[in-house]
Amino acid sequence: METIGGNDVAPMERPEWKHSKLREHRDAHGLTLEQAGEALRQISEVLKLRPPLHSNLQSIFNHETGKSYPDPRYQRAYCALYRATPWDLGFRHRLPHEEESRFPKVTPQHVTVTGAHVQAVESALLQIEAAGEVDHHSLRHRILDAWRRRHTGGDPHRPHMVLVGGYAGSGKSELAGFISYLTGWPRLDKDSLTRPLVEALLIAHGGDPHDRHSPLYLEKGREAEYQCLMETAYDNIKAGISTVLDAPFLREFSDPAWMQRLADRCRAFGAEISLIWVRCDPVSMKEYITFRSAARDAWKLANWDEYLMGIDENFAPKVPHFVVDNRLGSAVSQTDQAKLALGRMYA
C-alpha cells in the first residue's frame, strides 16, 4: 500500500488496468527502478505537480506489479517520462473519440527557440478549439506570440485577460498554469487568492470554513470571492499586465449581462478578453478530486451523487468562447509533453 498526501491509497478494482505495461515501457527505455524514480521526481518539478512526487524504488515496483494504482499525478508523470498515452501505459482503454497521440520528442534546453519547441507548443495549443463567434486562431496565436516575445523583451500589445473556467477536477488549473507558463502572464487562482477571506467569513457566520455548496456560502461568500478575484485582475489590466484567471466561473459564464459588464470595463482599460471552458467527464473529475484530497472537496465526495445532479456535462458558456476537451486527461497530457519539450527538465 502506498502513502499519498498522508493517506493510504489501496489498489482499486480496475479491470481495464494493465499494470505490466509500465514495466514494458521502463525496460524499453533502459531504465532501472532507481533511474525511473529519479526521472519521475525531475518531471514532478518541471510540471509543478502538487504535492510533488517522492517516487522511490518501492512505489514504482508497486505500480508495475499492480499492488497500488498510480494516482493522477503519477499517471501524468509516467506519460511524460515514457512519451506515451494513458492507454499505451495500460491505465485505461482508448475511447472512440480519442485519436492516437504523437507526442513531441523531449529535447534539451537551448538559449534559442527551435522548431521542435514551437511544434510542441503549437501541438498543445491545438487543444483549444473555437466555440461560438470567436476567431479560431486568435487566442492560440496570442499565447504563442507572447511566449516568443519572452525571449525578446516583452509584449507591446494591449493587455489580455484570459478567463479559464470549468467544474472542480476538470483540469482548468493545469491549463491556466500552462498558459501562464508559456506567456509569463500572472495566474490568479480564485482559491489561493480568496480562501483565507472566505473561510473567515463563513466562520464568522457560524458556518463550515470548507463549505462551498450551502446557501450560506452562496449568499455570503461567493460574490465577495469573485469580486476579490476580478478587482485584482482589473488592477493588473490597468497596469498593462495581461492576466490569466482560474476559477469555475459557472454563474458568470451563464450570465450575458455579467459578461457585457466585464467587456465594457476591459474595453475602458484598452484590454482584450478571451474565455476558455474546460470540458471534462464525471469519472475523470471524481478521480482527480479524490486524489487531491482538498478539504473544500469533502462534501462533494461524501455526496457525489447529489453533487452530480448539479453538474451539466454539456454546459457551455452563453457567450462566444473557446473550449478544451480534457476528458480523461488528454489535454493535460499534451501540455505536459510541451513543457518537457521546452527543456525545463535540464534547466
- pLDDT, position 1: 41
- pLDDT, position 37: 92
What is the DSSP secondary structure assignment for residue 22, as one 8-state letter? H
The larger pLDDT score, comparing residue 10 to residue 316, is at 316
Is the pLDDT confidence value at 11 over 70?
Answer: no
Distances (CA, A) of 29 to 26, 129, 260: 5, 34, 53
* CA neighbours closer than 13 Å in the CB half-sphere of residue 226: 17
Instruction: Give the Cα separation of 68 and 9 in Å (integer).
Output: 7
Instruction: Give the Cα separation of 217 and 223 in Å (integer).
Output: 9
As a whole number, mean pLDDT of residues 191-196 equals 92
For residue range 76-115, what is the model confidence (pLDDT) as tens digits?
999 989 888 888 899 888 877 666 554 444 433 344 556 6
- pLDDT, position 291: 81
Is the pLDDT confidence value at 127 over 90?
Answer: no
- pLDDT, position 115: 63
As a whole number, mean pLDDT of residues 127-136 equals 83
- pLDDT, position 16: 80
As a whole number, mean pLDDT of residues 114-142 equals 80
- Judging by beta carbons within 10 Å of its beta carbon (0-12, 13-18, 19+), is residue 253 exposed, middle or buried? buried
Length of the chain: 347
Instruction: Give the Cα separation of 53 and 45 in Å (integer).
Output: 8
Quickly count: other Cβ atoms within 10 Å of residue 109's Cβ. Answer: 13
Instruction: Indicate the pLDDT class of residue 205, thresholds 50, 70 and 90.
Output: very high
Instruction: Give the Cα separation of 40 and 76 in Å (integer).
Output: 10
- ∠ Cα 41 42 44 (to 5°): 65
As a whole number, mean pLDDT of residues 115-135 equals 81
As a whole number, mean pLDDT of residues 270-275 equals 92
What is the DSSP secondary structure assignment for residue 217, as one 8-state letter? I
- Give the sign of the dihedral formed by CA 248, CA 253, CA 258, CA 263: positive
Instruction: Give the Cα separation of 206 and 203 in Å (integer).
Output: 5
For residue range 279-332, what is the model confidence (pLDDT) as tens digits?
998 988 988 898 887 888 888 988 999 999 989 988 989 888 999 988 877 778
- Name the 3-class secondary structure at 40: helix
Is the pLDDT confidence value at 154 over 80?
Answer: no
Residue in this structure with the C-alpha cell 482538498, named with its chain if needed: 294
212-217 CB contacts, 8 Å cutoff, 24+ apart = 212/296, 212/299, 213/299, 213/300, 213/307
User: Quick one: what percent of the chain has pLDDT higher than 70?
Assistant: 86
- pLDDT, position 13: 65
Residue in this structure with the C-alpha cell 447529489, named with its chain if needed: 306
- Give the sign of the dihedral formed by CA 286, CA 289, CA 290, CA 291: positive
Mean residue pLDDT of the chain comes to 83
- pLDDT, position 164: 96
For residue range 40-88, what is the model confidence (pLDDT) as tens digits?
999 998 888 888 898 888 899 999 999 999 988 999 999 989 888 888 8
With contact defined as beta carbons under 8 Å apart, do 112 and 118 qualify? no
- pLDDT, position 51: 83
DSSP 165-188: E--TTSSHHHHHHHHHHHH---EE
For residue range 172-186, what is the model confidence (pLDDT) as tens digits?
999 999 999 888 899
Is the pLDDT confidence value at 140 over 50?
Answer: yes
For residue range 228-240, what is the model confidence (pLDDT) as tens digits?
999 999 999 998 8
Q: Is 345 left (phi over 0), alpha (psi -120 to 50) or beta?
A: alpha
As a whole number, mean pLDDT of residues 197-204 equals 91
Is the pLDDT confidence value at 255 over 50?
Answer: yes
With contact defined as beta carbons under 8 Å apart, do 244 and 188 qualify? yes
